[in-house]
Structure 1
Amino acid sequence: MPRAKRGTGRRDYRHKTMKLAEGYFLTKSKLNRSAQEAVEKALKYGYVGRRRKKRDFRSLWIVRINAACKENGVSYSRFMDGLKKAGIDLNRKVLSDIATLDIAAFKVLIEKAKAALPSGTPLPKTVEA
């Protein structure tokens, strides 16, 4: 009989894979090779998803701020420009919460942003081809 030199490494490796693959469908939770492939793919998607989540939330916050701005007669970009010029440094997450939970406070922010913008400034014209 040949001498086994791997110790518990092989079993530990497979056990870890099978533990991660619990709940997967059919062979993906029963056979090591299928489970290993499924686990690797799931971990890759998880890595990508954690980065994508940040993008998705920022997009959601912008949509909420834009909707609240439109209700008060100003565009999102003009509002953000006005806040920057007024020296109000709030991130989009906080602005989104204010816009959805405290409408009166958001109106105050809009007034401050409008006041910081030069009055009568036309919007930039688009170049037509």
Structure 2
Amino acid sequence: MVFLTRHLLYRRFYQPHHDRSWKKEMQNRLTWHFYGRRRNCYALQKDAIRRSLRFATVVRSSRRRHVNYIFSDRIAAGCAQHGVQYSSFMRSLYENNIAIDKKVLSSLAVYEPRTFQSLCEFVKKQHTEKVYAGLAASVEPTPSGIVTREMVDKVYKS
């Protein structure tokens, strides 16, 4: 937008309440998605705008929570298809420093099933390695009365 004089610039941005056309234009911008007379009638636009802005402010936190539930449900459904629990899937991704947020994971589960399947296979592999490591540690005989450096390191690293 080009302003030919300083007066027009000042009038446009610093005194909008004196310019009635600016106010009407702003209200038209805020009501472009409404239907019927609320969209076109200036007198009805004011109340509709006030209500919609108040609703958007009040509902903002619950909308975020609802979207987060949708993401979690989609990921859980994808995990169930591949025989992995949601909680162990998320924990395994976190422990292996795979930083993919829920939004991306849910879109992978819905639109990229092979990629999500590879993530599930990775989680299964990590789980079986942990189980085998746990069984090997429990089956391994420990000498009585002898403490080695490897035994101490094994305790402090895990």
Q: How many residues align?
A: 113
Q: Per the alignment, do residues 17 and 36 of structure 1 end up closer, same or farther by CA in structure 2, a change over 3 Å counting?
A: farther
- 3-state SS of the aligned residue for 2:131? coil
Counterpart in the other structure of 1:74: 84
Q: Per the alignment, do residues 24 and 14 of structure 1 end up closer, same or farther by CA in structure 2, a change over 3 Å counting?
A: farther
Aligned partner letter, 1:119: V
Which residues in structure 2 correspond to 1:84-123 (within 5 Å)? 84-117=94-127, 118-119=130-131
CA contact (8 A) 1:82 1:114 kept: no
Could you tell me how far 1:69 is from its partner in structure 2? 0.4
| Identical positions, percent | 26
Q: Per the alignment, do residues 28 and 82 of structure 1 end up closer, same or farther by CA in structure 2, a change over 3 Å counting?
A: closer
Q: Per the alignment, do residues 15 and 101 of structure 1 end up closer, same or farther by CA in structure 2, a change over 3 Å counting?
A: closer
Deviation sequence 1:39-93 (CA, Å, 0-9, x none): 2112222445566554443322221111010111111111000111122111112
Q: Please list every run of 5 or more consecutive structure 2 residues that lacks an aligned counterpart in the other structure.
A: 1-16, 135-158
Deviation sequence 1:68-122 (CA, Å, 0-9, x none): 101111111110001111221111122122222332322221122233343289x
1:83 lines up with 2:93 in the alignment: yes
**Rounded Cα–Cα distance in structure 1 between residues aligned with 2:47 and 2:119:** 52
Greater relative contact order (Cα 8 A, min sep 6): structure 1 or 2? 1
TM-score norm. by structure 2 comes to 0.52
Counterpart in the other structure of 1:45: 55
CA contact (8 A) 1:69 1:76 kept: yes
TM-score norm. by structure 1 comes to 0.61
Aligned partner letter, 2:101: N
Counterpart in the other structure of 1:62: 72
CA contact (8 A) 1:65 1:95 kept: yes
